[in-house]
């Protein structure tokens, strides 16, 4: 990443300009920087952000200047059949995945040419312009670093548990990969009453964090991992989540669950990377495979809920935050992520 000046046009009809206060550094940004996913260039990175509304365009209702907001990266249309069915994560009119506004343009430019906010957020910038519906108001007492993480890792991780897998109290669970997303899954599992909650990572530092976030057992990823999981669950977990995006750990998910179990794909692999599964085995054992997009959640419903849980002391999002950094330290944060150290680093503006 290079730090440079960008020009930001004022918000158009139905849009808001947000003065960013915090942005998380997420594994999805790394996929882009490492060339694993293609996006239009030049790109203003960051998609896990929170800030304060500074300007509103014409026709904006429901939010106002001064509101504290968390930004949404899956910017649903709220009109298609999936949005109307309560499934905004499957919106058929989505443009944010192309890094543009609903009208196909952006409000950002570098030297007169369009610049593209990553998944239409671009939170690693002092200001962002988004559709008003992608700025979800949260209580002003919520700290901005925590608020930022609600916008991706927390919404994804808790949603994976509550919406995608619908975990119920007493179910056993495995979480493979304990970065910001995996740790959020662990927090969700604790809230849902899962037991045991087995956290797996190749970095012992992450396992300590997983235990702090609510895991009951921590297992270092090595050759003996499958046996440990089998022993701890008595033959396989009810549900297993992959939160790395590694084709090998994704392919190994079915071996972690019992007959009738569920496997949940949360980590996203590099593009054009098909992963083979033994479907006959999945059929015989009655395994359900679930793909999680943005926690299969509803941001306008869920962000305020998660904010309330944090403020009530029931969702220890601070556990995820390794360091607060300035924008010029962002490349060091990605280096730490590639090395597997640090959970979430959060840029404060
Ligand atoms: N499904 C969604 O909607 C959604 C949303 C957000 C992020 N994601 C994806 O989730 C994944 C994780 O994101 P993150 O921000 O937590 O990333 P991260 O890099 O912070 O965390 C990855 C973790 O996996 C561990 N790890 C890496 N390789 C391992 C291995 N072979 N065995 C065991 N542990 C290993 C690392 O030590 C690290 O703790 C990414 O692929 C990201 O794109 C998906
Ligand atoms: Zn993310
Ligand atoms: Zn839609």
Domain final residue pick, 246, 278, 293: 293
| Closest ligand relative to 156 C-alpha | 1
Q: Which tokens is 276 given?
A: 């083979």
Say if residue 101 is in the same domain as residue 224. Answer: no
| pLDDT at residue 313 greater than cutoff 90 | yes
Atom index in ligand 1 nearest the CA of residue 74 equals 3
Quote the pLDDT of residue 243: 98
Q: Note whether residue 36 is domain-resident.
A: yes
Quote the pLDDT of residue 100: 98
Q: Note whether residue 287 is domain-resident.
A: yes
- The preferred substitution site among 244, 292, 333 for testing ligand 1, maximizing ligand atoms within 8 Å of CB, is 244
| pLDDT at residue 226 greater than cutoff 90 | no
| pLDDT at residue 137 greater than cutoff 90 | yes
| Closest ligand relative to 83 C-alpha | 3
Name the pLDDT band for 43 (thresholds 50, 70, 90).
Answer: very high
Say if residue 103 is in the same domain as residue 74. Answer: yes
Give the phi and the psi of residue 181 in degrees, each rounded to 5. Answer: -75, -50
Quote the pLDDT of residue 287: 98
| pLDDT at residue 223 greater than cutoff 90 | no
Quote the pLDDT of residue 150: 98
Quote the pLDDT of residue 14: 98
Mean pLDDT, the chain, as a whole number?
97
Name the pLDDT band for 224 (thresholds 50, 70, 90).
Answer: confident
| Closest ligand relative to 344 C-alpha | 1
Say if residue 252 is in the same domain as residue 223. Answer: yes
Domain ranges, residue 327: 7-152+296-348
Ligand 1, CB cutoff 6 Å, lining residues: 26-28, 31, 152, 156, 177-182, 200-203, 206, 221, 243-246, 249, 266-268, 292-294, 337, 340
Quote the pLDDT of residue 93: 97
- For residue 241, what is the domain's CATH number? 3.40.50.720
Say if residue 83 is in the same domain as residue 127. Answer: yes
Say if residue 225 is in the same domain as residue 278. Answer: yes
| pLDDT at residue 310 greater than cutoff 90 | yes
Say if residue 230 is in the same domain as residue 333. Answer: no
State pLDDT tens for residues 159-191: 999 999 999 999 999 999 999 999 999 999 999
Q: Note whether residue 106 is domain-resident.
A: yes
Say if residue 37 is in the same domain as residue 143. Answer: yes
- For residue 21, what is the domain's CATH number? 3.90.180.10
| Closest residue CA from atom 26 of ligand 1 | 177
Q: Note whether residue 2 is domain-resident.
A: no
Q: Note whether residue 1 is domain-resident.
A: no
| pLDDT at residue 315 greater than cutoff 90 | yes
Mean pLDDT of 295-304: 98
Say if residue 141 is in the same domain as residue 28. Answer: yes
Give which of 349, 304, 323 is closest to 147, Cα–Cα: 304
Q: Note whether residue 148 is domain-resident.
A: yes
Query: Which residues have a Cβ under 8 Å from the Cβ of 28 and sit 6 or more positions away?
Result: 37, 47, 119, 152, 268
Quote the pLDDT of residue 324: 98
Domain final residue pick, 252, 276, 293: 293
Atom index in ligand 1 nearest the CA of residue 184 equals 16
Q: How many domains does the chain have?
A: 2
């Amino acid at each position: 990443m290079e730090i440079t000046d960008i020009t930001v046009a004022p918000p158009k009809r139905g849009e808001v300009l947000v003065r960013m206060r915090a942005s998380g550094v997420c594994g999805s940004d790394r996929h882009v920087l490492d060339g694993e996913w293609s996006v239009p260039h030049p790109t203003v990175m960051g998609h896990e952000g929170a800030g304060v509304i500074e300007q509103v365009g014409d026709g904006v209702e429901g939010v106002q200047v001064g509101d504290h907001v968390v930004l949404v990266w899956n910017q649903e249309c709220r009109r298609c059949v999936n949005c109307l069915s309560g499934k905004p994560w499957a919106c058929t009119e989505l443009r944010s995945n192309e890094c543009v506004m609903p009208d196909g343009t952006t409000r950002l430019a570098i030297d007169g040419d369009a610049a593209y906010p990553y998944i239409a957020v671009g939170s690693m910038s002092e200001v962002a312009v988004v559709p008003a519906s992608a700025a979800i108001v949260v209580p002003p007492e919520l700290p901005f670093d925590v608020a930022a993480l609600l916008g991706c890792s927390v919404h994804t991780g808790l949603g994976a548990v509550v919406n995608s897998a619908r975990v119920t109290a007493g179910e056993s669970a495995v979480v493979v990969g304990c970065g910001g997303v995996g740790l959020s899954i662990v927090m969700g599992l604790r809230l849902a009453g899962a037991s045991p909650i087995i956290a797996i990572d190749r970095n012992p530092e992450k396992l300590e964090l997983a235990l702090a976030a609510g895991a009951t057992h921590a297992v270092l990823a090595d050759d003996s991992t499958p046996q440990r999981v089998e022993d701890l669950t008595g033959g396989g977990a009810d549900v297993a989540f992959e939160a790395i995006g590694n084709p090998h750990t994704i392919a190994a998910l079915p071996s972690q669950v019992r007959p009738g179990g569920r496997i949940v794909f949360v980590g996203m692999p590099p593009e054009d990377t098909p992963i083979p599964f033994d479907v006959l085995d999945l059929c015989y054992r009655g395994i359900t495979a679930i793909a999680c997009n943005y926690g299969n959640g509803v941001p306008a419903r869920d962000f305020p809920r998660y904010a309330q849980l944090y403020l009530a002391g029931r969702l220890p999002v601070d556990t995820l935050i390794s360091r607060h950094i300035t924008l010029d330290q962002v490349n060091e944060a990605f280096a730490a992520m590639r090395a597997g150290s640090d959970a979430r680093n959060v840029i404060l503006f």
